[in-house]
């Protein structure tokens, strides 16, 4: 049970008042229902959220989505907006896997057309997409990529230099797949070394590639805009910036921690180490973080290219040509955006940290691709291997109460160690196969760590964000094949 006083303010919105602990500059707010709140109170995530509320320059409230769980510094599922120049940027508010995110591909066929080619397709996907902690399995990442160009331009560098992807793919990617202000020189030599052969690799942990089917449509208009239909086959890719992003975070946590006294910043937790956005340290971090984010978008673009290659090998060139990108969204990033906190009449530039939280801009927002502007931004909410995932659409209230943000997944309920005590990998593989889900995983241990039991109920999480007006359900996806690192 949380030691902090928390009260229900409005529907699904709970609040810890700023008076709850010394140093809080703003309240801490959480979107959840009572059952999710009871699960959330079992770890330190609410304490971490209250700590976030002490950051210099934080605006309106420290926020958390219903998939919140304990993380490094910030809870995963946390959102914080700070106002430059005094407002800070914190690497812990982005996380070690900078721009971990999700890309959805839609095949031009239904599950009935796939037939007995489901398992061969899963096998070919696992053969073509490298997995594993080291980043490459038995194969290298994309060769021939100029790393500095990737850090500066993101997937556009792969398109221009290697012919990977398309202009449509770039248009259907958050921020066009490129954060401005990325400076390759801000990324350390060690970070570049770690990322040099990892473009186009899935990684391990909670990263995955899923073959899915659309099993329910909730919003016909949005589904039509996203060109998704019931029974359609999709591929969901979940990966990030790999070792490069991890090293960028490591480098700047150390750098900012050493400078806290210089900036006269006192924190309840050194994992929140930060620097003013306008400072040399803050600017250097944003430049390096943006480069790592661009790397992650390029990584998912390269994985998507390999997935299309697998589709061509098993289903033919026509199906591969018709396999289109629905969208690509980040859920570990800090971005300079313009918002009206507290209903202000004028927009202000804020540094919005989203850690395990997804941008969810509503219909009409100028940053959305023209093709989706009438229905809102696509948002992808993965479940776990044996449960559903969801495609949502951003809604107007997200701008009013959460800086245009919604959840990013189901959210962990059990640690990896705890779930291994309950689940044996071989038995889990057999259970999933019996449910009609073909499984390819590097190890039974890694499979067990990502068991459905480890996660909260994704359907309940999605119901909360829909009831709160942050995003609305468009379609539900069910797994028919899973590839884990």
Tokens of 462: 């999605």
Amino acid 138: pLDDT: 39
Amino acid 134: pLDDT: 57
Torsion of CA 153, 154, 155, 158, to 10 degrees: 60
Angle among Cα 138, 144, 149 to the nearest 5 degrees reads 120
Tokens of 34: 């009572």
Angle among Cα 85, 296, 146 to the nearest 5 degrees reads 105
| Number of other CB atoms surrounding residue 346 within 10 Å | 6
Whose structure tokens read 């299309």?
A: 308
Q: Going by DSSP bridges, is the β-strand pair 62-69/28-31 parallel, antiparallel, or unpaired? A: parallel
Q: For the chain, what is the radius of gyration of the CA atoms?
A: 21
Distance in angstroms (rounded) separating the CA atoms of residues 173 and 152: 16
Cα-Cα end-to-end distance for the chain:
34
Amino acid 414: pLDDT: 85
Q: Is 408 a catalytic residue?
A: yes
The full set of domains in the chain, from first to last, is: 7-413+455-484 (3.90.1860.10)
3-state SS, residue 27: coil
Q: Are 233 and 110 in contact (CB under 8 A)?
A: yes
Amino acid 2: pLDDT: 63
Strands (E), 227-323: 232-239, 275-276
CA-wise closest residue to 368 among 173, 105, 160: 173
Q: What is the pTM of this model?
A: 0.96
Amino acid 135: pLDDT: 46
Catalytically annotated residue among 207, 331, 365, 408? 408
3-state SS, residue 408: coil
Q: Are 132 and 287 in contact (CB under 8 A)?
A: no
Amino acid 136: pLDDT: 44
CA-wise closest residue to 354 among 291, 410, 400, 402: 402
Low-confidence ranges of the chain (pLDDT < 70): 1-2, 133-141
């Amino acid at each position: 049970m949380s030691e902090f006083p928390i009260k229900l303010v409005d529907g699904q919105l709970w609040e810890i008042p700023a008076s709850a602990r010394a140093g809080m500059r703003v309240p801490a707010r959480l979107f959840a229902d009572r059952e999710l709140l009871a699960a959330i109170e079992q770890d330190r995530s609410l304490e971490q959220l209250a700590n976030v509320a002490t950051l210099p320059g934080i605006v309106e409230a420290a926020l958390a989505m219903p998939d919140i769980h304990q993380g490094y510094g910030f809870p995963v599922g946390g959102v914080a907006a700070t106002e430059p120049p005094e407002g800070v940027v914190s690497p812990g508010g982005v996380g070690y896997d900078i721009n971990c995110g999700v890309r959805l591909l839609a095949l031009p066929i239904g599950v009935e057309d796939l037939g007995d080619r489901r398992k061969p397709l899963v096998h070919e996907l696992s053969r073509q997409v490298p997995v594993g902690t080291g980043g490459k399995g038995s194969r290298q990442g994309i060769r021939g990529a100029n790393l500095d160009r990737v850090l500066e331009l993101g997937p556009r560098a792969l398109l221009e230099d290697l012919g990977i992807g398309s202009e449509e793919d770039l248009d259907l990617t958050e921020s066009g797949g490129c954060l401005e202000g990325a400076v390759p020189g801000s990324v350390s030599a060690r970070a570049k070394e770690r990322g040099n052969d990892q473009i186009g690799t899935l990684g391990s942990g909670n990263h995955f590639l899923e073959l899915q089917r659309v099993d329910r449509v909730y919003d016909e208009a949005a589904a039509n805009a996203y060109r998704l239909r019931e029974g359609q086959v999709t591929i969901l890719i979940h990966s990030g910036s790999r070792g490069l992003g991890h090293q960028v975070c490591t480098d700047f946590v150390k750098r900012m921690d050493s400078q806290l006294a210089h900036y006269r910043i006192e924190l309840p937790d050194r994992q929140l180490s930060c620097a003013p956005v306008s400072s040399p340290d803050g600017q250097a971090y944003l430049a390096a973080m943006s480069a790592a984010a661009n790397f992650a978008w390029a990584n998912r673009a390269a994985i998507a290219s390999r997935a299309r290659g697998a589709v061509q090998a098993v289903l033919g060139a026509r199906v591969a040509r018709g396999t289109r990108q629905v969208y690509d969204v980040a859920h570990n990033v800090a971005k300079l955006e313009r918002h009206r906190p507290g209903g202000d009449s004028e927009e202000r530039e804020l540094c919005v940290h989203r850690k395990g939280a997804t941008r969810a801009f509503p219909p009409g927002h100028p940053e959305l691709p023209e093709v989706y502007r009438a229905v809102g931004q696509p948002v992808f909410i993965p479940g776990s291997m044996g449960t559903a995932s969801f495609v949502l659409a951003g809604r107007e209230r997200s701008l009013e109460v959460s800086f245009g943000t919604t959840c990013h997944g189901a959210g962990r309920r059990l640690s990896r160690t705890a779930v291994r005590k309950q689940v044996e990998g071989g038995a889990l593989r057999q259970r999933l196969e019996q449910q009609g889900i073909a499984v390819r995983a590097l190890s039974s241990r890694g499979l067990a760590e990502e068991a459905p039991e480890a996660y909260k109920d994704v359907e309940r999480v999605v119901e909360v964000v829909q009831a709160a007006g942050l995003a609305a359900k468009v379609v539900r996806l069910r797994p028919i094949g899973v590839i884990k690192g």
